Amino acid sequence: MGAAARQQAIAQNLANVDTPGYQRVDVDFHSTLRDAMASGGSALKDATFSPQRDASAQVRADGSTVDADVEAAAQARNGLEYETLVSVSKARVDIIEAAMGR
């Protein structure tokens, strides 16, 4: 869910790359998950992943903070991470199915 929310934020940034004054947003789902895990297992189900304005982004002359190269790299990194999460999840399901004799 966090990777999907981040992908939407990246797509929104790329769609507005030429919009003057647009402020880049990102979803830091790693911190959200880390905090939820530290609070206990029940906090995981209540974890929310919402886009936040990236205050550290460089401001361009037109007031926008979106850099197409940064977004493309973030999109590639997020895609690879998502694929990894899916692969790990599938491997765990395969282990459970093997243990059940399927």
- The answer to whether 57 and 98 have CB atoms below 8 angstroms apart is no
- Cβ atoms within 10 Å of 3's Cβ, excluding its own: 18
**pLDDT confidence of 48, banded at 50, 70, 90?**
confident
Q: Tell me what the mean pLDDT of segment 79-102 comes to.
A: 92
Rounded Cα gap, residues 2 and 28, in angstroms:
8
**pLDDT confidence of 2, banded at 50, 70, 90?**
confident
Amino acid 46: pLDDT = 75
What percentage of residues in the chain have a pLDDT greater than 70? 97
Joined together, the tokens standing for residue 41 give: 């297992």
Rounded Cα gap, residues 66 and 63, in angstroms:
9
CA-closest candidate to residue 8, choices 79, 98, 100: 79
- The answer to whether 26 and 19 have CB atoms below 8 angstroms apart is no
**pLDDT confidence of 90, banded at 50, 70, 90?**
very high
**pLDDT confidence of 41, banded at 50, 70, 90?**
low
Encode pLDDT of 13-31 as tens digits: 999 999 999 999 999 878 8
Instruction: Indicate the average pLDDT of the chain.
Output: 89
